[in-house]
A and B are shown apart, each in its own frame.
Chain A
């Protein structure tokens, strides 16, 4: 079935360094790839997303890249800060069955730790 794999499960980086989280997806028909951030005790919130007609998207210190051929996409955070510490989830959309709507299939999450 549809699957999204996310790596690593835990990532520890020094404050100011860059962090990269990678996801691979199984269905070549996927066309929407969001990234969510979940701070401790809070709800997941969208931080950036990319659609399949775009290879890269940036928003200040965060960027997402998409390689459709290889079916993988990555989140890049530059100049990391303590407030970047959180769990990050990737997701990929999968086409609807019958009369339903697109579904999001989620990665297992990456716990990002920023060391002072």
Chain B
């Protein structure tokens, strides 16, 4: 059973703080993704990574950065949190190498920036 685990379920941070959201998967997946979910806007891709140390910008990368030092871990970083980054953040992973396969999601982190 694939497990994608996000470090926090709920997080409250202050404006201007540096925020780290961590995601770990245990199935040796090549691809990992960070999405932001807001009502009526679906799942918007922030960044994805298809290999260690590789990353690509998604649709809304502004204000975010990522780190993938190990295959199983993909971190999302908010360099200076702002109130408009209050949202639900979902991490996902999937097998890679050009194969279209199922994406497995973490439980989500609801981030509130005050």
Q: Which residues of A come within 8 Å of B, CB atoms?
A: 6, 9, 31-32, 34, 42-46, 49, 51, 89, 93, 96-97, 100-104, 106-109
Contacts and interface: CB of A to CB of B under 8 A. Distances in A.
Contact of A108 (B41, B97, B106, B107): B41
Interface residues of B, number: 24
B43 A44 contact: yes
Contact of B98 (A45, A101, A104, A106): A101
A89 B90 CA distance: 14
22 contacts: A6-B42, A32-B100, A34-B103, A43-B90, A43-B105, A43-B107, A44-B90, A96-B98, A97-B56, A100-B50, A100-B56, A101-B31, A102-B100, A103-B48, A103-B58, A104-B103, A106-B42, A106-B43, A108-B40, A108-B41, A109-B40, A109-B43
Contacts of A49: 102
Contacts of B90: 43-44
